[in-house]
Each structure stands twice: as C-alpha cells, then as structure tokens.
Amino acid sequence: MLVVIGLILVALAFLLPMRTSCRSRETANRVKCASNLRQVGQALLLYASDNKGHYPQAIYAGGTQVIPTWCTGAATSNPFGENGPVPNDVTAALFLLLRTQDITPEVFTCPSSNAEKWDFGGASNTALNWSNWTDVQKNLSYSLHNPYANDEAIKQGAIWNNSMSPDFAIASDMNPGHTGGVVNVTNVTSTSSARDMRNANSRNHDGDGQNILYGDGHVSFEQTPFVGVNRDNVFTTKLSSTGVTGGPIVASPFDGGDSILLPTSQ
C-alpha cells in the first residue's frame, strides 16, 4: 500500500507542473489574442479615417434578403473587379485591412488556434496580389461583424462605421458555427449552464470563451457569446426586437444593435 501511495505521489509531482504550464501558456495566448484583436480595431479606425468614417466593405448587394458569404474570389489583385469576391463577402471586407493598413497576416491568427499566418503564396507576393483569404480554416482565426445589412435592418438603425456603439461586438475569436453535433451556437440561451455554453463558445480557446473586440476599441475575454448591446448571442442573428435567443447564423443583422460575427469555423 505504501508503495502504491508513493507511486501516486510521484505521478502527481510530474503532472501538476505540466498542468500549471499548460494553463500559463493558455493565459499568455489569450493575452496575445486580445492584442491581435486590438490591432484589428486600430486598423478599422485608420481605415475609417481614410474613408469618410466608413469601415471596410467589399462589393455590397443590398435588398430585402442579404445572405453573407466568405472566402470567394481570392486570386485576383482587384477586390472590386469582375473576378473578385462575390457580393456580401465578409472575409473580403476584413481582408481590405491587409491591403490598405499597416497590419500583418499573423495578427489574424490566434496562438491558441491551429491557424498559421498566410505567406500570400510565397515568393514576392503580398496582400496586394490577393483579394481574400483562400482558406479560413488554415489562415484566419477571427470573425467580423457582418457589414452587409438588409433593407429592414438599415431601417432599424444598422450601420457600419466609426459611430458604432461602444459595447457593440465588432470582431471576435471565430464563430464556432454548427457542426450538427455537440457544437451548436443556436442551441443555447443566456441562462444555459456553463457546460452547455462551452458548446457555443469559439473553438479557439477550447470552448472556455472568446476574446471580443468592442466598438470603443477595448477587448474582453467573455465566457459566453451573450454579450454586446442587447446581450444576445453575437454568433447568431436576433430573432425579434425583444428576443435574445439565437436565430440563423448566416444572415443579415436584425437591427442596429444586433451583432452577427462571421465567418464560422465549420
């Protein structure tokens, strides 16, 4: 018995430092991740300064129904040209920061995720040789508020400029989407248990939560996606003017207070 207890104590002596080391590494990663999103926020403000207060948009096709997309038309040097991204491409809007601001591709990769900074195809290529990411799974860790609102949302106050509310969720660790399995951002409410909420949090930090960039430029690590102006799910659209449970994931914002962060990791 004493031998067994001794072996257990020896094992614990090895395991505890490893666990502490992993926790310390994740804490450092969250700090770096938050720094990345702050830099994205600064780049958005600089872009707005050069564009009459407007945040970046690629080609926008408005109307009563506006369905966003991502990762289209990457292999062209003109994001607004014939062979560029299709209308309402969220990542193409974010990529405009790489093309126009002093920001590097590693800023768009969270150190806790599996994403790697993009080398733009190697050789002498730069962001100006491209109009979008080719693979969000490989080279992008973050989601941006969908800047393509439908007509009704615009009537209800939806904007995309440097006048956003201070507590509006502008960007975040990537939306986990819906795998058809356990991970499902539409299957939680603001009162869900912490265990269930993990299934609606970004995968970047193993379901613990996500860093979120707000309209005033600050970044906060949140343990739930129910944040922002209306405290509703920022990974889904809002279903009504009073509801806070999750609606569709790939859709226009509902109104001026509704954040919908895209793309998804699924």
Domain spans of the chain, in order of start? 39-262
Q: What is the pLDDT of residue 25?
A: 85
CA distance 24 to 5: 28
Average pLDDT over residues 115-138: 95
Average pLDDT over residues 117-137: 95
Q: What is the pLDDT of residue 242?
A: 56
Average pLDDT over residues 209-229: 98
Q: What is the pLDDT of residue 180?
A: 65
DSSP annotation of 232 reads E
Q: Residues near 213 by Cβ (< 8 Å), separated by ≥ 6? A: 37, 38, 40, 41, 169, 170, 171, 172, 219
CA distance 92 to 72: 8
User: Considering the chain, what percentage of its residues have pLDDT values greater than 90?
Assistant: 80
Name the average pLDDT for the chain.
91
Indicate the pLDDT class of residue 26, thresholds 50, 70 and 90.
confident
Average pLDDT over residues 121-147: 96
The two tokens of residue 144 are 């941006």
Q: Residues near 63 by Cβ (< 8 Å), separated by ≥ 6? A: 150, 151
Query: What stretches of 182-262 show up as alpha helix (H) in DSSP?
Result: 194-198
Average pLDDT over residues 175-188: 83
CA distance 45 to 51: 10
CA distance 58 to 38: 22
Average pLDDT over residues 151-162: 98
pLDDT in tens, 27-71: 999 999 999 999 999 999 999 999 999 999 999 999 999 999 999
| C-alpha of 39 from chain center | 14
Q: What is the pLDDT of residue 10?
A: 47
Q: What is the pLDDT of residue 243?
A: 54
85: cis peptide before it, omega within 30°?
no
Q: What is the CA radius of gyration of the chain?
A: 20
Contacts 24+ apart (CB under 8 A), 43-51: 43/97, 43/101, 43/102, 43/103, 44/97, 44/162, 44/170, 45/162, 45/217, 46/101, 47/96, 47/97, 47/100, 47/101, 48/161, 48/162, 49/162, 50/100
Helical packing angle, 2-50 and 90-100, nearest 10°:
80
pLDDT in tens, 59-105: 999 999 999 999 999 999 999 999 999 999 999 999 999 999 999 99
DSSP annotation of 178 reads B
CA distance 31 to 16: 23
- pLDDT exceeds 60 at position 115: yes
| 3-state DSSP assignment of residue 89 | strand
Average pLDDT over residues 99-125: 95
Residue keyed to tokens 């986990």: 176
User: Considering the chain, what percentage of its residues have pLDDT values greater than 70?
Assistant: 88
Q: What is the pLDDT of residue 12?
A: 46
In this prediction the pTM is 0.90
Q: Which residues pair with 89 in a beta bridge?
A: 69
